[in-house]
Structure 1
Amino acid sequence: MIALVTGAGSGIGAAIAERLAQDGHTVAVNDLSLGHAQTTVDRITAAGGQARAFAADVSDEAAVTQMLTDVTQSLGAPQILVNNAGFAHQAPFLEIATADFDRIFAVHVRGTFLVTRACLPAMLDAGHGIVVNIASQLGQIGGVELVHYAGAKAAIIGMTKSLAREMSAKGVRINAVAPGPINTPLVEALSEDWKTAKRAELPLGRFGEASEIGGVVSFLCSDDAALFVGQTLGPNSGDVML
């Protein structure tokens, strides 16, 4: 199948793209930077997989529309979509600038909305599709100095549940993954104090690896996950237990 992974130039997105390619899917690797996307593509093709790079800002409606046109014309309509594009910004609540708040929601929430809306018509026409939204455990429990980030991730979880109720009977399965802290550049950018405190809170005692999230997404994109609808899976080192 054709799989589109947004924000796949590094970190969790890159690991997801590589795992889906290993599973035999042809991967459209999106990133804001074409160079970063191409780096992921190069690793995939060096390992024998099939992939192509596409640059687009997922918060830009025109850019998303053009990206889907390019993906469809060169590879085919995506049957799998992984909405992963995002970034972290840490600040005490009273120091969060409006522009920082707006940008977090634009990339995470508006981006998930725009790319999903662009991909869904072809999935509905085919009577089959899979959407996996990458949220965060902070969208479930909150995070100190991460109010805007946690709020955006909570919105993604709510969108996942609502869209799953609307689309499941039409053949499109929609779920979310809410990772805990993962050893990626996004988490490395947070303060050392935050990382030390969070690591001490985790029952597992360690942050996860991006490849471990790739495995969870691989499962949700497989037939083994046929009964999973509107769920939020939590590979979070025990930070959230439901």
Structure 2
Amino acid sequence: MELAGKRILITGGSSGIGLALAERFAAAGARLFLTARGEERLEAAVLQLQAIGATVAGVSADVATAEGRALTLSTAQAAMGGIDILVNNAGGVRAGRLEEIAEAEIEAMITVDLLAPILLTRAALPALRESGDSLVLNIASGLALVGAPFYATYAAAKAGLARFGEALRRELKGEGIHVLTAYPTATDTPMMKSSKAGPELGFIREPVAAVADAILEAVREDAFSVIRGGEAREKMIRLNREAPEVVDQRFLDMKAGLAEAVKGHSAL
């Protein structure tokens, strides 16, 4: 896909992967519209992008709510005159043993990580159809491919988002709307700051710039997916498919340490 002149809406665009993608899309000549819950951080992101010459606007909105989705779409279309690319990047996580996570936190993860992208995409489809050459980019997670203990709900939501994207891609094939799913591993973003899981537990945080560069390349190549983590991740995915009991044992060996490291991991 040629990005010059494309009108791109990015949810959760004020930091992390969303902001890094915005920087790269801007450099490629795209027009941007960002949405995020935090007004101050959003304003800072817009100013940061304008400083590098981006054409960008934004609105503070919570896409986990019907009102936030409606505001996001109406203001984005008014600002850009339409939408060519929707980036479903906003997300949230709360790690820990399932029985120790509050019901409200479980519902929040399902809503922001799965329900919101589905409903926002549904509402954006008329604008994407009008474009004629459009894209839905869903930011899932490596945990959608290999589930890890203490992330049961998050993994479920992200796996749901991945299959949503796959099914929708096939539903829309031949209609001018492509769907791409990204599977980042642990990435050095604000969402990961409260996690203490490190390399000793197999959690090596990838620079956000590397993740954004890979996603940008996948967008340009009209890829179906982009999976981060290199050869080690590929091996884990293959092992999880062919010998899941081996993966189970690996997690059992580290379970106590992992439980302690991620018990405070929360970004909702």
1:174 alignment partner in structure 2: 179
The equivalent position to 1:220 in structure 2, one of 198, 218, 221, is: 218
SS class of match (2:173): helix
Deviates most, 129-138 or 208-217: 208-217
- Contact 1:5–1:29 under 8 Å retained in 2: yes
SS class of match (2:233): coil
Amino acid at match of 1:183: D
* Residues in 1 aligned to 2:129 and 2:212: alpha-carbon distance in whole angstroms: 25
* Residues in 1 aligned to 2:182 and 2:210: alpha-carbon distance in whole angstroms: 12
* Residues in 2 aligned to 1:112 and 1:58: alpha-carbon distance in whole angstroms: 8
* Residues in 2 aligned to 1:187 and 1:66: alpha-carbon distance in whole angstroms: 28
1:165 alignment partner in structure 2: 170
Structure 1 runs of 4+ with >4 Å offset: none
Amino acid at match of 2:110: F
- Contact 1:178–1:236 under 8 Å retained in 2: no
> Within 5 Å, which residues of 2 pair with 1:13-52?
13-52=18-57
> Within 5 Å, which residues of 2 pair with 1:52-201?
52-190=57-195, 192=196, 194-198=197-201, 201=202
**Cα gap change, 1:197 to 1:147, in 2 (>3 Å):** farther
SS class of match (2:35): strand
What RMSD in Å do the two structures reach over aligned CA positions? 1.6
**Cα gap change, 1:147 to 1:88, in 2 (>3 Å):** same
2:246 alignment partner in structure 1: none
* Residues in 1 aligned to 2:102 and 2:171: alpha-carbon distance in whole angstroms: 35
Cα distance, 1:238 vs structure 2: 4.2
Amino acid at match of 1:195: G
Cα distance, 1:196 vs structure 2: 3.9
2:248 alignment partner in structure 1: none
Rg larger in 1 or in 2?
2
Cα distance, 1:73 vs structure 2: 1.0
- Contact 1:180–1:237 under 8 Å retained in 2: no
Unpaired segments of 5 or more residues in structure 2? 1-5, 238-268
- Contact 1:139–1:153 under 8 Å retained in 2: yes
**Cα gap change, 1:129 to 1:25, in 2 (>3 Å):** same
Amino acid at match of 2:92: F
Deviations 1:125-168 (A, max 9, x none): 23221111000001110122111111111011010100000012
* Residues in 2 aligned to 1:217 and 1:138: alpha-carbon distance in whole angstroms: 17
1:207 alignment partner in structure 2: 205
The equivalent position to 1:240 in structure 2, one of 227, 233, 252, is: 233
* Residues in 1 aligned to 2:230 and 2:101: alpha-carbon distance in whole angstroms: 28
TM-score by length of 2: 0.81
* Residues in 1 aligned to 2:230 and 2:192: alpha-carbon distance in whole angstroms: 15
